[in-house]
Structure 1
Amino acid sequence: MGSCVDFISSLDPDMSHKILLCLDDPSDLVRVSCVSRSWRRFVIANGLCKQLCLRMFPQLSRAACVVELNKHGAKEPEEVGSSYSMEWQALEKNHRVYAYLARASMTFGIGDCIGDTIGASSTDNFPEESIDNTLEPRDMIGERASYWSSKGQNNPDVPETLTYKLVSQICVITEISVQPFEAFFQPGLPIYSAKSVRIKMGYPNPSLDTSTEEKYVWTYTSPEFPMAQENRLQKFILPEPVLCIGGILQIELLGRVQRQEMDNLFYICVCHVQVVGRPLSPAFSVEIRDHSSGMFTLKCDQLAKCHAQLTFSNESDGVEDDWDEEEVDDFEETYSL
């Protein structure tokens, strides 16, 4: 041990910074910050946890500030001191919040993130064929088929949209599944799929109240995914996990492939939709500060509960945390839990 070299104190700070930026696991950054006081100071002063989060989720570039809330939901009291001490406290706060966020995005329970339906761009027979039916995994409810249907169109290029409210203001979304509807009661068993799908995520915009498109500000738009004309739940995996800020998700159904025999119009019909990801509330929430720019405040609450979820096995998705007892103690000391 006597021959070991502290590379952070021996190398040029820029080189040490570049080396630590190669770490892409939040657990590794937390462990680095627990090595010694000098290493902890280096990690915090350079905002390495925030930089890791920004690499993981570019949507965080619109975070104007972070706020820590106590267990009653109130802001922690501001400390009084020199400008240097206040600046250091702000850096420590950012370190804590972004370290939790990075870890939570990988370890919180994963599941269906749809909280409720908002609406469809059109509906053929309301409410029998409403968007609400897409939340039901069964093809039949009683003696009635369960599906959403658009209105018919002569032009097969007319798109449709299905808009949902997620279970949390802030979620990490990884994949979306859509099942086209097979009309088993029509000749030839036609399947009313779209040609492709595209995903948008964003937040409500209360300053605008005209067209449907203007009711939301979209902060992420996925590539187009081709859809097969098959009666199955089709999975569309996003190129990278996306941090949905604002809790609104829209599925664009682009292009129509199936005419209905009775009226010779093109329709799109969907029987089931799933949105898979990790809800980050109640540990995290957001407050939109400027609806035009999308700047928001990131809030972190219930740190003790968050800590328990991050340091022990996650039964919901079978992920085992590999931190040992000593590392957990160092983590608690680092974050003053």
Structure 2
Amino acid sequence: MMEYSVDFLSYLDLDTSLKILMCLDDPTDLVRVSCVSRSWRHYVIENGLCKQLCMRMFPQLSRFERVVELNQHGAKDHAEVGSSSSMEWLALEREHRVYAYLARASTEYVGTNCIARTIGASSTDNFPQESIDNTLEPRDNISGRYSYWSSSGQSNPGVPETLTYELLSQICVISEINIQPFQAHFQIGSPIYSAKSVRFKMGHCKSSLDASTDDNFVWTYTSPVFPMSQENRLQKFKLPEPVLCIGGILQIELLGRVQRQEMDGLLYICVSYVQVVGCSLSPAFNVEILDPSGRFLLKSDHLARGQTLMAFENEPAGMYDNFMVRGLRDFPQIVTILRGHMGGVVVEDDWDGDEYEVDDIEEEYAL
């Protein structure tokens, strides 16, 4: 593979090595690094590099107290028995597995509409004819009847409105939210009742029993404010970065009113369709709310995770397809990149190819 090569980690202090490996921002690269040798795998696991990468990708993960791995029967793993050091290492290995899968599942997916059902709107003009349920239908005219949600009328253009939805699962990755304002063709001039701008919140219910009021939600993410056009089209609002929605609740804030209704002179906001683009990480992952303030337990189902991996491996260009062979093939390129971060320092030595062990890694990732 390389005539002269060296395990540079053994020549550098911990801080320098971490700075170099933390430059890897793709879960594929971290998996390949852990496949180089047993010592490199140990280094990646011991320093929690997969967890740190996930934390950079999704700051919302800082709310997780710990991770739990479920066996194929849905029960927690048996309590570890042994010395404190061996139990600590088992815990590090478990975190490595869970966060490695989480990083992969979060980056390799086909976007779908993640709305499961509506929860409620801050106001509705004519219920149920103009309820929030109509925003789940992409057509704005069904059998000759217009389908849309309408707020109540207001004289103050600054009065906001909210639409709240439950997502497909308690843990979803959301990349964009799309909204189509409603155009009232049955009114003079066919006015479009858009908002002036929108903002999005994601979070969870304080109680699983009641999600009817805004006071019962804890928001773990709030987006920037996006301007909305007064146009009758599906308007796409792409988030700055994909967001991990923990708790499965999304709220759309419609800020500012721009259209008056000629009949009563009041300002309204009307929406015909809402689409939330992303993916659900369930059943491979789930969360348990530990307290109302928003501390969580991350649960990873071993069997469901394996089934998800099989689905990934059937897709073209899957990240883990023949990952060991690809890791070895691309290793010279990785070393070149890492040497660049070391300021061109090259240390020559014989590489011990026999040190590369794949049995435990194959068991860990291939399931």
Quickly name the TM-score band, shorter chain normalised: over 0.9
**Could you tell me which residue of structure 2 aligns to residue 135 of structure 1?**
136
Give yes or no for the alignment of 1:122 onto 2:123. Answer: yes
Preserved contact between residue 313 and residue 321 of structure 1 (Cα < 8 Å): no
Question: What does the per-residue CA deviation read over 1:87-112, in whole Å, with 9 as the maximum and x for residues that have no partner?
Answer: 00000000000000000001133211
**Could you tell me which residue of structure 1 aligns to residue 157 of structure 2?**
156
Preserved contact between residue 205 and residue 217 of structure 1 (Cα < 8 Å): yes
**Secondary structure in 1 matching 2:18:** helix
- Matches for 1:159-174 after TM superposition, within 5 Å: 159-174=160-175
**Secondary structure in 1 matching 2:86:** helix
Give yes or no for the alignment of 1:313 onto 2:306. Answer: no
Change (3 A) 1:303 1:209: closer
**Could you tell me which residue of structure 1 aligns to residue 90 of structure 2?**
89
Distance 1:34 1:59 in 2: 28
Distance 1:207 1:134 in 2: 24
Shift of 1:305: 1.1
Distance 2:209 2:284 in 1: 30
Give yes or no for the alignment of 1:229 onto 2:230. Answer: yes
Mean Cα deviation higher: 183-192 or 209-218: 209-218
Distance 2:210 2:274 in 1: 27
The percent identity for this pair of structures is 69
Give yes or no for the alignment of 1:59 onto 2:32. Answer: no
- Matches for 1:176-325 after TM superposition, within 5 Å: 176-206=177-207, 212-292=213-293, 294-301=294-301, 302-313=304-315, 320-321=318-319, 323-324=321-322
- Matches for 1:31-50 after TM superposition, within 5 Å: 31-50=32-51
AA aligned to 1:324 is N
Give yes or no for the alignment of 1:333 onto 2:363. Answer: yes
Change (3 A) 1:326 1:20: closer
Structure 2: segments with no counterpart, 5+ residues: 327-357
Shift of 1:335: 4.1
**Secondary structure in 1 matching 2:198:** strand
**Could you tell me which residue of structure 2 aligns to residue 68 of structure 1?**
69
**Secondary structure in 1 matching 2:9:** helix
Preserved contact between residue 28 and residue 319 of structure 2 (Cα < 8 Å): no
Structure with greater Cα Rg: 2
Preserved contact between residue 183 and residue 190 of structure 2 (Cα < 8 Å): yes
**Secondary structure in 2 matching 1:51:** helix
Shift of 1:308: 1.6
TM-score relative to the length of structure 2: 0.87
Distance 2:241 2:210 in 1: 32
**Could you tell me which residue of structure 1 aligns to residue 353 of structure 2?**
none
**Secondary structure in 2 matching 1:195:** strand
Query: What RMSD over aligned residues (CA atoms) do the two structures have, in Å?
Result: 1.9
Preserved contact between residue 312 and residue 318 of structure 2 (Cα < 8 Å): no
**Secondary structure in 1 matching 2:204:** strand
Preserved contact between residue 170 and residue 280 of structure 1 (Cα < 8 Å): yes
Distance 1:327 1:277 in 2: 31
Structure 1: segments with no counterpart, 5+ residues: none
Shift of 1:208: 10
**Secondary structure in 2 matching 1:261:** coil
Preserved contact between residue 119 and residue 211 of structure 2 (Cα < 8 Å): no
AA aligned to 1:333 is E
Distance 2:192 2:122 in 1: 20
